[in-house]
Amino acid sequence: MASQPSTSYKAITHSEDESSLSESYLTQIKSHSDYLTNTYARPPLILSHGKGSWVYDVIGRKYLDFSAGIAVNALGHGDEEISQLAGEQASKMIHTSNVWYNEWAGELAKLLVETTKQHGGLGFAPGGKEQRGEGGAKVFFSNSGTEANEGAIKFARKYAKEFWASELTNGVGAARKWEDSTKTRVIHFTNAFHGRSMGSLSATANPKYQLPFTPLVPGFELVTYGDINGFRATIGPDTCAVIVEPIQGEGGVFEGSEEFFKTLRAECDKFGAVLIFDEIQCGLFRSGNMWAHSRFPLDCHPDIVTMAKPLANGFPIGAIMVRDHIAKSITPGSHGTTFGGSVFATRLAHHVLTRLSSPTLTAHINQVSAHLQNRLSKLQSYFPELIKEPARGRGLIRGIPFTDSTIPGKVVEGARQRGVLLLTAGKDAIRLVPSLIVERAEIDFAMDVIESVLSTLPAEH
């Protein structure tokens, strides 16, 4: 490995100055901005198509997509098998409704549960030889991650109220009515991101996202991520759910300890609360395992896992995978969706999950992840005045933390102007979430660009 950082890409190759862009390009951007709501601070870049880990803009400039559509395009862009399958299914049927069964929703649900048993997660040890509690698991399909989290919170509240009602007062007397239950509180954590709809937003403790939309859903209580004592002091008999990301993506790529998750599990068991793991960004093999919690002991596992982003490689789909003892509370009318679990979405997702879980691809993920780690491990010694600590995360969800909160935005901009697309994470980091098919040479190019950009910054900091 080189003893010095790369400086091969200090020169800007993908200029964003208006003087370097054609009048027609700028006119197209203005036309779009005139009609789109102003919810994103977009750079002057109009993407046209992609192939593998690369995307192209409408004037032919090529970019390495190290954001993968915000951890979505696990199999990259322009995948021929997905394209062929999508056309075939679209010619047969795209949508009916959940009033009837379709050919693929049940098959995808089965594949999710059985693959989880094989790889470990949701209370099942790898290989399915051991499990926590009795029964299996069931799946509800949604259209997005925030919808999956909304549904999971609903499931937890309904289950918890019925659990509360089934208990006898002080061990004696008649059962209580679930309508009288006070078991409705939800614990969430700092730096979390669970979505932008009202319930998920209530569990996303970022003033930038929350304050304009107050009052939020009542009953949500905030605890510092990783604070075991603070969590123990907050959870109680009225807690119905705890929602947490095993690896926080948007919030800065922070990962909780095994001891932390073991405590969450034990305290949820003590108080009859439902433990929800939001693996929307870190799950489905991005961490190197099927789930970020797959490698944990069973006494760290959740009751519910939510997922979305890579499940259909970019076609909208989300899912809630829930253990049977909680699923029993979800009866006809408890929840629903018009588009979730469509035959089109679930057929694509079945194909994607089959490929993501193949031994060939999982081996590839672990090999390129090790190479990425080797490159990341040198950054702090190269740039001690810029890099705050070693890179966070694991597998292909990594965060590079900086000493100054102004640096991440500058690195993202500088890398984009040299042909690499990155994301920020939290207040102090950039996020690396490439497609899971990314190649070693592509990792080297991305890291060479990052090092080159960082080499231009010390004089300013």
At residue 129, the pLDDT reads 84
Q: What beta strand segments (E) does 210-338 contain?
A: 220-223, 239-244, 274-278, 304-307, 318-323
Pairing of strands 54-57, 47-51: antiparallel
Band (205; pLDDT cuts 50, 70, 90): very high
Residue 3 has pLDDT above 90, yes or no: no
At residue 204, the pLDDT reads 97
Are the C-beta atoms of 242 and 268 separated by less than 8 Å? yes
| Residues pairing with 393 in the sheet | 398
- Give the integer Cα–Cα distance in Å for 111 and 264: 28
Pairing of strands 392-394, 397-401: antiparallel
pLDDT above 70: percentage of residues in the chain: 97
Question: In the block, which residue shows the tokens 């509370």?
Answer: 329
At residue 170, the pLDDT reads 54
| Residues pairing with 425 in the sheet | 429
- Show the tokens assigned to 346: 């679930």
At residue 371, the pLDDT reads 98
pLDDT above 90: percentage of residues in the chain: 95
Strand, coil or helix: 262: helix
In this structure, of 64-73, 123-132, 169-178, 244-253, the range with the lowest mean pLDDT score is: 169-178
Strand, coil or helix: 140: strand
Phi-psi domain of 435 (left: phi exceeds 0; alpha: psi -120 through 50; beta: other): beta
- The sheet with strand 54-57 has its strands ordered as 47-51, 54-57, 62-65, 420-421
Residue 253 has pLDDT above 90, yes or no: yes
Query: What mean pLDDT comes out for the span 263-275?
Result: 98
Which residues are CB-neighbours of 110 under 8 A, at least 6 positions away?
Answer: none
Condensed to tens digits (0 to 9), the pLDDT of residues 11-41 reads 999 999 999 999 999 999 999 999 999 999 9
pTM for this entry: 0.96
- Show the tokens assigned to 102: 């379709």
CA distances (Å), origin 45, targets 29, 49, 55, 62, 419: 8, 12, 11, 11, 11
Residue 195 has pLDDT above 70, yes or no: yes
Condensed to tens digits (0 to 9), the pLDDT of residues 394-437 reads 999 999 999 999 999 999 999 999 999 999 999 999 999 999 99
Is the sign of the CA dihedral 156, 158, 160, 162 positive or negative?
A: negative
- Give the integer Cα–Cα distance in Å for 138 and 197: 24
CB neighbour class for 164 (10 Å; exposed up to 12, middle 13-18, buried from 19): buried
Condensed to tens digits (0 to 9), the pLDDT of residues 45-92 reads 999 999 999 999 999 999 999 999 999 999 999 999 999 999 999 999
Query: What mean pLDDT comes out for the span 238-262?
Result: 98
